[in-house]
């Protein structure tokens, strides 16, 4: 959502149409005007957004609060501000929030994949921390039938490990995968997706989360507070790094000679991320090991794949905490500490 327009939505079955120059309709939302700690966020009444011709207006029932949302609110690492959806000097979008689930309120003129009243989930470029959000239709899919809205909002994050393991890592049945940061919002999904792909999973987490990751399907658990996975002697076909707390040389030591390292985290500083990207690209030229920095690309096809996986009982979200919409700042302070166990969800509509 780049702007909040002075327009409203009228519903006319079987579709909702956009009416210009109508009276603005209010909604409650979390507003983000400047970069800083989560304390910069305010809970306000703003104008409801209006979808474009390729967009969907979603009545948000639940949203997810992730470390990615924390990065967007703080504007750190600074490299994320180069994204067209973020903003260099100040936030481009007044309302943050990406992962969400809810009901379709209205659709743009060119949208054919969903209709008003449909239950959906997906990943918005922004705007999820509000009662209504505009989402491109290609970033939404039907909500898994066996999940609540809150569980579905937490499922949107699973696109990241799905693409990282299946597409970038090329993980195959019978291979061995190491997941660094296995108990977090992305890592907990990575365990289940890797198992669904038929891999042997080694999960790296703290001892307090060992039981949780085993319950999610991990075959082996490495407690990083007592054991160094680098010195363990095991080799892996794929390493998926969600934390960025170890050097590339450390990860290369545990990769097989033709293994693949995939990272969705470069650490907490822009310089470190850029250096890591440069080193990975350069090193890959001189070794059969593949070192890849990865950025997720949300899309309907992968959301549909996850829906099928969840409805088949092969994966479920692991929700740690629930917060009200007015408590988004508290939720982001928690995820910013870096020790979440599974997903953190914002309850917009109590079910």
Residue 109 domain-assigned (yes or no): yes
Q: Say yes or no: 228 and 341 in one domain.
A: no
Q: What is the pLDDT of residue 274?
A: 61
Verify that 22 and 137 share a domain, yes or no.
Answer: yes
pLDDT in the model for residue 129? 98
306, part of any domain: no
Q: Are 24 and 127 in the same domain?
A: yes
Q: Examine residue 309 and state whether it is found in any structural domain, yes or no.
A: no
> Tell me, what's the pLDDT at 245?
87
- Kind and range of the H or E run holding 16: strand 15-19
> Do 255 and 165 fall within a single domain?
yes
Rounded CA-CA distance 292/281 in Å is 7
> Which residue segment(s) compose the domain that 233 sits in?
158-293
256 and 139 within one domain: no
Residues 322 and 249 in one domain: no
223 and 275 belong to one structural domain: yes
| Domain membership flag for residue 311 | no
Task: Tell me whether residue 312 is in a domain.
Answer: no
Provide the number of structural domains found in the chain.
Answer: 2
Tell me whether residue 305 is in a domain: no
Locus of tokens 């508290």? 330
Which spans in the chain are helix H? Answer: 67-74, 149-155, 159-162, 187-196, 210-216, 248-254, 270-284, 300-311, 328-336
Residues 281 and 164 in one domain: yes
Residue 307 falls inside a structural domain: no
Alpha-carbon 117 to chain mean position: 25
CATH code, domain carrying 200: 3.40.50.720
pLDDT at 72: 95
C-alpha dist (Å) from residue 104 to 22, 41, 51? 20, 26, 11
- Is 328 within a domain? yes
Q: Indicate if 175 and 143 belong to the same structural domain.
A: no
* Residues 119 and 198 both lie in one domain: no
Determine the pLDDT at residue 4.
Answer: 33
Q: Which pair of tokens denotes residue 57?
A: 């207006």
DSSP string, 195-243: HHTT-EEEEEE-GGGHHHHHHHT-SEEEETTT--GGGG---EEEEEESS
259 in Cβ contact with 165 (< 8 Å)? no
pTM: 0.89
Q: What is the CATH number of the domain that holds 67?
A: 3.90.180.10
Q: How far separated are the first and last CA of the chain, in Å rounded?
A: 26
Q: Are residues 69 and 138 in the same domain?
A: yes
State the 10-residue block means of pLDDT for the chain, 351 residues long: 34 40 81 97 97 98 96 90 89 97 98 98 97 98 98 97 97 98 96 98 96 98 94 92 90 96 70 65 81 92 98 97 98 93 94 67
Same domain, 180 and 108: no
């Amino acid at each position: 959502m780049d702007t909040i327009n002075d327009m409203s939505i009228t519903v006319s079955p079987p579709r909702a149409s956009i009416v210009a120059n109508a009276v603005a309709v209010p909604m409650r939302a979390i507003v983000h005007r400047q970069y800083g700690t989560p304390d910069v966020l305010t809970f306000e009444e703003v104008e409801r957004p209006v979808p474009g011709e390729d967009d969907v207006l979603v009545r948000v029932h639940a949203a997810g609060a992730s470390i990615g949302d924390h990065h967007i609110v703080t504007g750190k690492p600074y490299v994320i501000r180069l994204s067209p959806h973020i903003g260099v000097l100040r936030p481009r979008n007044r309302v943050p929030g990406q992962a969400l689930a809810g009901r379709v309120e209205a659709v743009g003129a060119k949208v054919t994949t969903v209709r008003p009243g449909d239950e959906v989930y997906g990943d918005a470029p922004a705007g999820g921390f509000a009662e209504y959000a505009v989402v491109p239709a290609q970033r939404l899919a039907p909500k898994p039938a066996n999940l609540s809205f809150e569980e579905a909002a937490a499922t949107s994050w699973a696109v990241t490990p799905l693409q990282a393991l299946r597409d970038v890592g090329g993980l195959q049945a019978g291979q061995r995968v190491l997941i660094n940061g296995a108990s977090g919002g992305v890592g907990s999904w990575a365990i289940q997706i890797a198992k669904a792909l038929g891999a042997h999973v080694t999960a790296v987490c703290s001892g307090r989360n060992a039981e949780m990751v085993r319950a999610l399907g991990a075959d082996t658990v490495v407690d990083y507070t007592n054991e160094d996975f680098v010195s363990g002697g095991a080799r892996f076909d794929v390493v998926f790094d969600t934390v960025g707390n170890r050097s590339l040389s450390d990860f290369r030591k545990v990769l097989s000679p033709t293994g693949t390292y995939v990272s969705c985290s470069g650490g907490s500083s822009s310089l470190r991320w850029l250096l890591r990207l440069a080193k990975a690209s350069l090193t890959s030229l001189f070794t059969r090991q593949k070192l890849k920095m990865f950025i997720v690309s949300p899309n309907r096809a992968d959301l549909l794949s996850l829906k099928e996986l969840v409805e088949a009982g092969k994966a479920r979200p692991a929700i740690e905490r629930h917060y009200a919409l007015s408590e988004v700042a508290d939720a982001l302070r928690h995820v910013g500490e870096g020790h979440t166990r599974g997903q953190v969800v914002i309850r917009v509509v109590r079910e």
